[in-house]
Each structure stands twice: as structure tokens, then as C-alpha cells.
Structure 1
Amino acid sequence: MGCLVNVIHNYGVHVTMCLGPSMLPTFNRSGDFVLVEQLSVMTDNIRRGDIVIAKSPTNPRHTVCKRVLGRGGDVIAVPKAGSFGGTQRVEVPPGHIWLQGDNKDNSTDSRDYGPVPFGMLRGKVFLKVWPLSELGYVAREEWRSVLTE
């Protein structure tokens, strides 16, 4: 039984918590429990608009919950640092993804730490299980930040 639980947890589905303000309004600031599946990462079936769990590029002991805005080869429009309305173009390198929180004004994401290696992904969020009043599938939303493909 222990082996089966280990295989399901490592290669199937597990529960985790998305906590903090970066994914408002998709997830609550106080934290939502979600189901995460790993098969999409293992089969490279992650698309723009998916919400993923990844190792934090700034602290490998933590994970982040963010939306995929771009994949390798995409060009992303990113606000210039210290600029009011200006943008710059950033090309996502092959083997990397661009992650951003839904709450653009309060999220530490690829705008801060750059493209994230695909190998840092841990799984794709597909179902919110808590709070029960919000039980349901997590919507995939594609944002218009990709300039070219």
C-alpha cells in the first residue's frame, strides 16, 4: 500500500495549497487547496494559460503557483523596470517557460526572475478542492502577452 501511495504521489496526483496574493482572483489570499497532476509535465503537455506548480527560482525549498504565459520561442511583452507604460520584448529560451501571477500588481514572477527552466515544473493545477464552496475545475486562461509565436 505504501508503494502505491508513493507512486500516485510522485507520478500521479497530489494535493497542495496555493497561498498568497499573487494569484488573486483565481485563488484566495488565505490559501486554496488544489489537485495537481504531474503527467502533463512528464509528457510536455503544458500550454499557455495553464496554472502550474514549480520550484521557486529564488528559494528552491519553496514552490510557486503561477500561470504559464509563454513557452520556449515565444516573445513576451514585459513592462520596463521603472517605466510608466513602456514595454520591452523578452524571448523565452527553448526549454523554459514564462510564469506570471494573475494579480500582476502583487506577484513575484518571471518579470522579476526571468524565464524558468521547464525542469523546475512540478505539476499542473486542475481542480480546486477547498474551500468547498469553490470546488471545481481551474480555468485555463490565455493572456495576450505573447507577441509572436
Structure 2
Amino acid sequence: MNFALILFILVLVTGLAWLVEKIILLPRRRQMAKQILEEYDRQLEQFDSVTDSMTATRARLHRDALQQPWWLEYSANFFPVILVVFLLRSFVVEPFKIPSSSMLPTLLAGDFILVNKFNYGMRLPVLNKKIIENRNPERGDVVVFRYPKDESIDYIKRVIGVPGDTVAYLDKNLTINGQAVRQTPLPDYFDEERISYAKHYQQTIGNKTNAILNSPGAPSFIIGADDFPFRDQCTYSNDGVVCKVPPGHYFVMGDNRDNSADSRFWGFVPDRNLVGRAFFIWLNFSHLKRIGYFN
């Protein structure tokens, strides 16, 4: 069961408790409190004066009569907070944690990021059905999506090809629609996780510039490509792979090119699997200065 479904169930349960409290239970307790105080006031009429202790007792009786049952304190009272979290997470932004190094050097394992949920259209939570159109993903966008082979898992990659594109990744060189994506060499990158250096390049896809990594010792050909929908749109060779992106799908890759399981291996990302566009790092416990926007 995914977190969105759990949160949705919590909204329903706490919302029902909140509604029952406001419409039925609270009015009953108020009526009962009124009756208790009226009876207590009648008893006080036999005394010539009202002491502080009598006044305190009256206040306590009123407070006890209005006291919520314990189950309401842990349900109805949390409904507004849970509802706000649900709405923000479903339609505005959602936090994620980067689990691996497949997006190095752009994103590090342990980065906490924010994902814009509205960029690619508003979708119904849980059902993931788009109800409001917005823009489509563009080449170079960093996107979070539900992994096509197991939709309970969220992946993050960079969009390389949009519907209709022909993407070629041959001899570790990227070509989109016959146009080579130029790679400008940067100083070698030290991968702390693998304790090794990788070739470091800057590339521009569309209007977005980002850095990528290549491992010199890794082969160019794709090892262990799965069977996937529209696999016939891809041609594998000793040099790499060439794919024609089908309608309603996207070709994605990790920036850490030789250490990323992506569209080269498991296929295209359907539009319905998109979660949103990643755009901001808000925390990394191991690198506290990693806060800000990224390409």
C-alpha cells in the first residue's frame, strides 16, 4: 500500500470523525453540559453565598462535560492538518529523498528534494488520472515517476527524449533527432561512494545545461536490457542503443550514465506514470550546504 493511499484513507477516517463531532457529538455534549450546570445552579440557590471552591467546581463540571473522548482527540482534531498535508502533497509539492547515485553529479544520495506536482497537469491522488492539463515534460527536465515495472516504486531521471524523438546513445555519445548533444569536458569527478574518478562533462539539452558522468571502464553496449512495451522501437548493438520514442511516452536517463538503470534497460515512461518535476534540494544531512534549485 503506497503512502498516497494511506494518507487518503486517513483523510477519510479523520474527516468522518470530524464531521460526526461537529454535527452530532459536540452539540450533545453542550446540551449535557447545559443540563449539568442548570442542576448545579439550582443546588447553589440553597446557599447564602457562592464560594470560590463552588465556582471552581462549576467550571470543572462544565469542562468535564465538554471533554472529548480519547479517540476523537486522535482523529477529528488531526483532520485539518492531515487534509492540508494531503492537498499540498497531492496538488502542489511533494518531498522525496534521493536513494542512489544514479543522478550524480546533479543529485547526491541523501538529498531531500521537492517535486512540483502541477507542472505536468493536475492529477487525482491515488487514481493518478489527469484532470487539468498543463505543459508536457521538456528535454532536460528532471522528473519523478512511478517505475513502469513496479509502480509502487518512485524513480527520478532526466528526460532525454519526448514523443516522436529518435534518441541514440552510441559509444557514450548522445544524439537526439540526428543532432549530437555536445559534451564539454570538465575536471574529473571523484565519486565518494565508489571511491573512484569518473569523466565529467557539461551538456545542454534543449535550454537546460547540466553535468553528466561517464566511467571509462564501463562498456558502451547495454547489458541486461529487459523486455518492455514498444521494445521493437529500440535497436541494440555493440555500440549502444537507438530508440524511437512512442506517443505518450518519454525516454529518460540518469546523469551518472554508466551507473543508472533507465530507459536504455527497462523502456519508456508512460505519461500516466509521471509524478512531477523535481526542482529544489531542501536538505542533505551529510552536506548541509546543498540547498537550492538545480537544473
Specify the code of the residue in structure 2 equivalent to 1:72. Answer: P
The answer as to 2:264 corresponding to 1:115 is no
Q: Distance in 2 between matches of 1:3 and 1:26?
A: 33
Equivalent in the alignment of 2:168: 77
Which of residues 136, 152, 155 in structure 2 aligns to 1:61?
Answer: 152
Q: Distance in 2 between matches of 1:5 and 1:60?
A: 22
Specify the code of the residue in structure 2 equivalent to 1:124. Answer: R
Q: Distance in 1 between matches of 2:279 and 2:222?
A: 33
Q: Deviations over 1:73-108 (max 9, x none)?
A: 011003453655x24431101100111000010100
Q: Distance in 2 between matches of 1:136 and 1:18?
A: 15
The answer as to 2:157 corresponding to 1:16 is no
Structure 1 residue matching 2:95: 3-state secondary structure: strand
- Superposition map of 1:74-113 within 5 A: 74-79=165-170, 80-81=221-222, 84=238, 86-113=239-266
What's the TM-score once normalised by structure 1's chain length? 0.84
Structure 2 residue matching 1:4: 3-state secondary structure: helix
Equivalent in the alignment of 1:25: 105
Equivalent in the alignment of 1:46: 137
Specify the code of the residue in structure 2 equivalent to 1:99. Answer: V
How large is the RMSD of aligned CA atoms in angstroms? 1.6
Structure with the higher fraction of residues in helix conformation = 2
- 1:3 offset after TM fit, Å? 2.5
What's the TM-score once normalised by structure 2's chain length? 0.44
The answer as to 2:279 corresponding to 1:126 is yes
Structure 2 residue matching 1:22: 3-state secondary structure: coil
- 1:114 offset after TM fit, Å? 1.2
Equivalent pair of 2:96/2:115 in contact (CA under 8 Å) = yes
Structure 2 residue matching 1:39: 3-state secondary structure: coil
Structure 2 residue matching 1:9: 3-state secondary structure: helix
Rg larger in structure: 2
Structure 2, gaps ≥5 residues long: 1-79, 122-133, 171-220, 224-236
Q: Deviations over 1:7-27 (max 9, x none)?
A: 111011111111202111111
Specify the code of the residue in structure 1 equivalent to 2:159. Answer: V
- 1:72 offset after TM fit, Å? 0.2
Q: Distance in 2 between matches of 1:88 and 1:56?
A: 20
Matched positions, count: 137
The answer as to 2:127 corresponding to 1:35 is no
Q: Which runs of 4+ in 1 moved over 6 A?
A: none
Equivalent pair of 2:160/2:251 in contact (CA under 8 Å) = yes
Equivalent pair of 2:142/2:158 in contact (CA under 8 Å) = yes
- In percent, how many aligned pairs have the same letter? 36
Equivalent in the alignment of 1:7: 87
Structure with the higher fraction of residues in strand conformation = 1
Equivalent pair of 2:222/2:265 in contact (CA under 8 Å) = no
